[in-house]
Amino acid sequence: MTISLEEAQALVTRAPYHKWLGLKVEAVGQGEITIRATWREEWVVNPDRRYTHGGILAALVDLAADWALGIELGRGIPTVDMRVDYHRAAMPGDLICKGKVVRQGGMVSVAEAAIYDLDGKLCASGRGTYLTAPPK
């Protein structure tokens, strides 16, 4: 399925949480998506060190992997299982989220994502399993 940036943006930001994250779809391709998350002060977990909460990074891993599949299917899909690895603290600034499909199946599919800061440094990565069976 080929989808425009505008169509992908409308799908991704349909959810209020995704709007709050300030997501902007920057690129879509066959089984791939790149999304920019606009940094928010509310993401800070440690006011002294000012790094981003790991829950935000996990959410970004999940949604980038999810939407790498979702743009192919034209809909959001539920997460069955997910793991996240944290590589470095994400300091204040937008984050670049790159998701790609690993395996697309009829019932479940696997996708992975990596989250980078604006210097291109890897902050978090992960892989998820998603329920891609057709809705009833």
pLDDT digits (tens, 9 = 90+) for 19-69: 999 999 999 999 999 999 999 999 999 999 999 999 999 999 999 999 999
Q: What is the pLDDT of residue 7?
A: 94
Give the domain extent around 84: 5-131
Q: CATH number of the domain at 44, please.
A: 3.10.129.10
Q: Kindly indicate the confidence band of residue 136, based on its pLDDT and cuts at 50, 70 and 90.
A: confident
> Does residue 75 form part of some domain?
yes
> Does residue 56 form part of some domain?
yes
Q: What is the pLDDT of residue 79?
A: 97
Q: What is the pLDDT of residue 1?
A: 58
> Does residue 53 form part of some domain?
yes
> Does residue 114 form part of some domain?
yes
pLDDT digits (tens, 9 = 90+) for 77-98: 999 999 999 999 999 999 999 9
Neighbouring-strand partners of residue 3: none
Q: What is the pLDDT of residue 3?
A: 87
Domain count, the chain: 1
> Does residue 136 form part of some domain?
no
Q: What is the pLDDT of residue 118?
A: 96
